Amino acid sequence: MLIIIKKRIVWIDNIKGFAMLLIILGHSFPPDTLKIWVYSFHLPLFFFVSGYLFKKRPLDETIKRKTKSLLIPYFVTALLSLPVGYLILRVIGKSATELFYDFFYLNGSVGWNVPIWFLVVLFWIEIIFAIIYSLNVSELLVIALTLVAGYLTYTNKIFIPFGLNIAIWLLPFYQIGHVFKELKVIEKIGKIETKILIPVGVMLIFACGVFGNLFTQTVPEPYHAHLGNYIIYFTVALVGILGSICFFIKIKRINILNTISKNSLFILCTQYFYFWTIRFISLKFLNYKLVQTNYRNSMIIFLACLFCYSFYFYIKNKIKVSVKTPKS
C-alpha cells in the first residue's frame, strides 16, 4: 500500500530528503570511499524522481514553469554568489571574463557555488523530455537512443555550453522515472511484503558503494565530466535507485526528510554558503583547519550544516506560526 498525504506522495518526499542528505554529505569533503558511494546514485535518484513527477503540458507552458522554478533560482543564486566569487577571483587571479562565463555556465563551470549547476541541467532535461514526449515515440526506444547519445558524447568528450552535455548523459534517468510511472512499476513493487522490501533496499543501497569502489575506484562527478565507465555508472546508479524505492516505498513520513524535501531548492542553493562559513569559523575562532579529507572533518561539516538548517527551519516555523495565530 502506497502512502499519500494531502496529494504529496510520502515515499517521494522521503527519497528526495534522503537524496538531499546525501548531496550535503557528498559536499562535506568525505574520503573517496564514502564519496564514491554517495555520488554513485544520489543525482540519478533526483532525476528519476523528477521524471516520475513529469506532467504533460503544452511546451510553452513547460518552458515558463521550468524557467520560473529552475532558471530564475539559478540566476538569483549566481548573482548572490558573485561577491564571494569576486573575492576568490582576486585571490586566485581569475579574470573577469572567467567570472562572466561562470555566471552564465558557458565554460563548464558555475563558479564557487557548485551545486547550482544542477538547476540548469534539470531545466534542459525537463524541456528535452517534454519535446520528446510530444512526439509520441516509444519511450523504451528513446531511452536506448539517449543512452547511446550519452555514451558517445561522454566517451568522445564532447562539450556543450550551458551544461547540455551533462543533460544528455543524465536524461535516461529522468526517462526511466517516467516509464516507472507509466507502467505502474512502483505500485507493483509496493505489493511485496515490507519485511522483504526493506532488507532488499538496504542491501541494494549498500551494494552501490561496494560496486562503485570495486569497479570504478573513482568518484563519478557529472559536473566535472567524469563518470568513469559510462555503462557501469548507469548500472550502479539504477541499483541505488531501486534500493531507495524498496526501502522507502512503505515507510511512513519521516519528518526530517519531509522538511528537507520541501526545502530542497533552498538547501541546494545555499549549502556552500554554510560550508565555507563553517570552515572559516573553525579556522578563525577555533584554530582548527577543516581542510583535510577524512571522516572526522566530513562529519563535523555535515552535522554543523544540518544544525544550521535545523535552526533556520525552527525559527522560520516559529515566525510562521506566530503570524498565523490571531491576537486575543
Contacts of 188 (CB under 8 A, 6+ apart): none
In angstroms, the CA 284 to CA 198 distance is: 44
**Is 138 in contact with 247 (CB distance < 8 Å)?**
no
In angstroms, the CA 70 to CA 318 distance is: 28
- Mean pLDDT within 124-148: 93
- Mean pLDDT within 23-33: 92
What band does 5 get if pLDDT is binned at 50, 70 and 90?
A: very low
Q: Tens of pLDDT along 173-225? A: 999 999 999 999 999 999 999 999 999 999 999 999 898 888 877 899 999 99
Contacts of 294 (CB under 8 A, 6+ apart): 31
Nearest to 167 by CA among 242, 66, 84, 28: 66
Say if pTM beats, i.e. exceeds, 0.75: yes
DSSP assignment of 225-262: TB-SSHHHHHHHHHHHHHHHHHHHTTPPP-HHHHHHHH
**Is 47 in contact with 174 (CB distance < 8 Å)?**
yes
Contacts of 152 (CB under 8 A, 6+ apart): 158
Q: Tens of pLDDT along 256-300? A: 999 999 999 999 999 999 888 887 888 777 767 776 778 888 898
In angstroms, the CA 53 to CA 47 distance is: 10
All 3 cell numbers of residue 278?
A: 563553517
Nearest to 23 by CA among 221, 291, 226: 221
- Say what the pLDDT of residue 7 is: 64
